[in-house]
Amino acid sequence: MNKTIAVIRGDGIGPEIVGEAIKVLDAVAAKFGHSFTYQEAPMGGCAIDQFGVPLPDSSLETCLKADSVLLGAVGGPKWDAQPSANRPERGLLKLRASMGLYTNVRPARMFQDLAAACPLRSDIAAKGIDFVVVRELIGGVYFGDHSTTDENGEKKAVDIMSYTEHEVRRVAHVAFQMARKRRRRVTSVDKANVLDTSRLWRKVVTEVAQEYPDVELLHMYVDNAAMQIVRDPSQFDVLVTENLFGDILSDEASQITGSIGMIPSSSMGEGTNGLYEPIHGSAPDIAGQNKANPIGTILAAAMMLRYSFDMPTEADAIEHAVDETLKSGHRCGDILQSGGTLVTCTEMGSQIVSRI
C-alpha cells in the first residue's frame, strides 16, 4: 500500500522523536511491502521563525491532503512572548479544527516491565492499569471566546465554555463503540452539579447509551474522577469527557502509567485522516541532547497504522517490538527508575527497529 504522511517535526525534542518514529515506519514498510511518502509540514515555533505564523497555509494544505499526519510537539520558551493569537499552540488548535478532529483518544496502559516506575502504591498498580481516555477536542472552553477587559479599575478575564448536542453526541458514539471492542464500560465525566454544559453533556450521553444496551454507563463528577484515577484506576475501561477535563485527566492518567514519554494519542474526525502524536510537549529542558524517549511517538505511529491505514498486523508488530525492547531492559532516562540499561533516543529507536 502507498500512503502519504504529513510530518510535523515541530520544536524542542520534536525532530528527535519524529526521526525515530520514521525509522520504525520505514522498517515496517520494508517488512510488509508498503511505501510511505513523507511530506514536511512546518508548524509551531519553527514555523513562526520561518514564516511568521505557527501554521502556514502550505503546511495546513499538506496535512489536509495527506493520508495522515504525524506530529512531534510544538512550543517552547523562545516563543512565550508571542501574542496569544500567534503562539505555537495556536497552530495545533487551528490544525485540529481545520481537520475536524473532534475526538482525541489516549490509552493509559501500564507496561508490566515498567511497573516499578508507576508512582502508585504497588497493591494499586498490581490490579493493572488499562483504560482509554476519549476527549472531546474541538469544543468547550478552549474554542470559546476569550477576552480580557478593564472593569472598575481592574482587569477582568472571561473564557466562554459552550457545547451543542451534536458535539457531545458524536464523541459519545466514539466512546461507546470503543467500549464494545474492550470491556464494555463507559464512565462519562462531567461537573453536572454546577455547569449547564455538563448537564447537557450528561443528558446527551445518556441518550446515546440507549443505542448501546450491551455497554454499561456510569456518570462521575470530574473532581471524583481525578481522585478515582489514583485511588483505583482498574475500575476504568473507557472514560469520556469534554475538552478541558479531558486535557487534565489524560495527563494524570498518563503519569500513573510510569512516564509521559510512553503514551501516544490519536485525534480523529469523520474521515480516515487523523493526527497522531505523543501526549507530551516539546520538553525544552532535554531538547537536542538525544535523551528524549521516542516510544510515545513510535506508538502513535502504530496507532496511525491501525486506525488510519487499517494495518492492524503492522501496528501489532510495532507494539510487540516496543514490548520486547522494554523486556530486554533498554530504558531512556525518564523510565530508568524501573531498572535496566540507559539508552539514547536514537538507540531506543534502533532497538525497536531491530525487533520489527
Q: Which residues are catalytic?
A: 142, 191, 223, 247, 251
Q: List the one residue from 179, 244, 334, 353 that touches ligand NAD (CB under 6 A).
A: 334
| Surface-to-core class of residue 37, CB atoms within 10 Å of its CB (0-12 exposed, 13-18 middle, 19+ buried) | exposed
CA dist 97 and 139 (Å) reads: 9
Going residue by residue from 109 to 148, which x/- string records binding to ligand NAD, judged by CB under 6 A?
Answer: ----------------------------------------
76 lines the binding site for ligand NAD (CB under 6 A): yes
Distance in Å, CB of 6 to ligand NAD, minimum: 15
Q: List the one residue from 159, 211, 285, 310 that touches ligand NAD (CB under 6 A).
A: 285
**What b-and-e string marks burial along 249-274, b requiring 16 or more CB atoms within 10 Å of the CB?**
bbeebbbbbbbbbbbbbbbbbeeebb
Nearer to ligand NAD (CB atom), residue 73 or residue 172: 73
73 lines the binding site for ligand NAD (CB under 6 A): yes
Q: List the one residue from 281, 315, 352, 356 that touches ligand NAD (CB under 6 A).
A: 281
CB atoms within 10 A of CB 216: 14
Whether residue 263 contacts residue 254, with contact meaning beta carbons closer than 8 Å, is answered with yes
> For residue 5, which amino acid is it?
I
| 8 DSSP β-pair partners | 71
Nearer to ligand NAD (CB atom), residue 197 or residue 282: 282
Q: List the one residue from 42, 56, 75, 349 that touches ligand NAD (CB under 6 A).
A: 75
Near ligand NAD by CB under 6 A, which window of 203-211, 276-284, 313-321, 336-344? 276-284
284 lines the binding site for ligand NAD (CB under 6 A): yes
**Which are the contacts of 275, defined by CB distance < 8 A and separation ≥ 6?**
63, 68, 69, 71, 95, 96, 99, 101, 266, 267
70 lines the binding site for ligand NAD (CB under 6 A): no
CB atoms within 10 A of CB 323: 15
CA dist 102 and 96 (Å) reads: 8
Q: List the one residue from 74, 129, 322, 326 that touches ligand NAD (CB under 6 A).
A: 74
State the virtual CA torsion across 136, 139, 142, 143 in degrees, nearest 10: 150
Cell 517490538 belongs to: 321
Q: Nine-digit cell at 149?
A: 477587559
Distance in Å, CB of 118 to ligand NAD, minimum: 16
Q: List the one residue from 208, 217, 229, 292 that touches ligand NAD (CB under 6 A).
A: 292
Nearer to ligand NAD (CB atom), residue 43 or residue 125: 43
Q: Site residues (CB under 6 A) for ligand NAD?
A: 13, 17, 73-76, 89, 92, 260-261, 277, 280-286, 292-293, 296, 332, 334
